[in-house]
Amino acid sequence: VIKAFLFDLDGVIVDTAIYHYRAWKRLANELGFDISEAFNERLKGVSRMESLDLILEHGGLTLPEETRTELAAKKNDWYLELVSRMTPDDILPGVPQFFSQVRKAGLLAALGSVSKNAPLIIERIGMQDAFDAIIDGNKITRGKPDPEVFLKGADELEVSPAECVVFEDAVAGVEAGKRGGMFVVGIGSPDVLTQADMVAPSLQELTVEQVLQKAQ
Ligand code: BG6
Ligand code: MG
């Protein structure tokens, strides 16, 4: 029986995935190369430092630890500039309605994000009270596709992985949910999120009932 829904943040609840992409692209351009949208799919759900390492590898650059720390901080400053302008209007279409269905169905809700900025974003969009547990990048040691973030979420909610449904827009995030033993709803394209148990373009196209029917 499904008892809890675990939500990724970037690209599922808010469209910060595009902000991450813009900030990384700006950094890559400054370093003398470019990153495509297709390459960006590999960065989704991946931690800040791991993302930077993938980008540097893509550009054929090897840089010392100190420089890498500086570059990551620079990207984060640009990202925070974009995030600081966010308001509840930035919540993706269908999210408030979906969350009220979650509550009506008596399900628990948790956030499962690798982002260290997740608490700030949740506050900016006024969704602090929508979650029974918040797991973010400050509480974990391994990014997705490691299942740690979702297993911690289940743990805090005191439910088992088999009682959870994960909502994810990232290839790495879908893999994390599957490795954690959870039913995974991919948010995006079925051509990209091939490992997901079901896929919808956004939460707006889904009802809680549809998910529960497939998951149990
Ligand atoms: C994930 C994003 O949610 O958080 C990744 O999908 C991002 O793109 C990661 O790199 C880490 O985010 P932050 O905010 O800690 O740099
Ligand atoms: Mg995401």
pLDDT of residue 90: 96
Q: 216: buried, middle or exposed (CB in 10 Å: 19+, 13-18, 0-12)?
A: exposed
Residue 22 in marked binding region:
no
pTM of the model: 0.94
Out of 25, 43, 48, 122, mutate this one to test ligand 1's pocket (max ligand atoms within 8 Å of CB): namely: 48
pLDDT (tens digit per residue) in 57-88: 999 999 999 999 999 999 999 999 999 999 99
**Could you count the other beta carbons within 10 Å of the beta carbon of residue 70?**
12
Is 155 a residue of the active site? no
d(CA 153, CA 110): 6
Which protein residue has the closest C-alpha to ligand 1 atom 1? 45
Burial category of 81 from C-beta neighbours within 10 Å (exposed 0-12, middle 13-18, buried 19 and up): exposed
E strand spans, the chain: 4-7, 108-112, 133-135, 164-168, 183-187, 198-200
> Quick one: CA dihedral 64, 22, 82, 123, positive or negative?
negative
Concerning whether 10 is annotated as a catalytic residue, the answer is yes
Give per-residue pLDDT as tens, 123-177.
999 999 999 999 999 999 999 999 999 999 999 999 999 999 999 999 999 999 9
* Helices 65-83 and 48-58, packing angle to 10 deg: 110
Residue among 47, 45, 25, 43 at smallest CA distance from 34: 25
For residue 45, give both structure tokens: 């759900």
Residue whose entry in the numeric block shows the structure tokens 């829904």: 5
| Tokens (6 digits) for 122 | 């949740």
* pLDDT tens track for 41-60: 999 999 999 999 999 999 99
75 lines ligand 1 (CB under 6 A): no
42 lines ligand 1 (CB under 6 A): no
Complex ipTM value: 0.98
Decide if 20 contacts 79 (C-beta within 8 A): yes
Percent of the chain scoring above 90 in pLDDT: 99
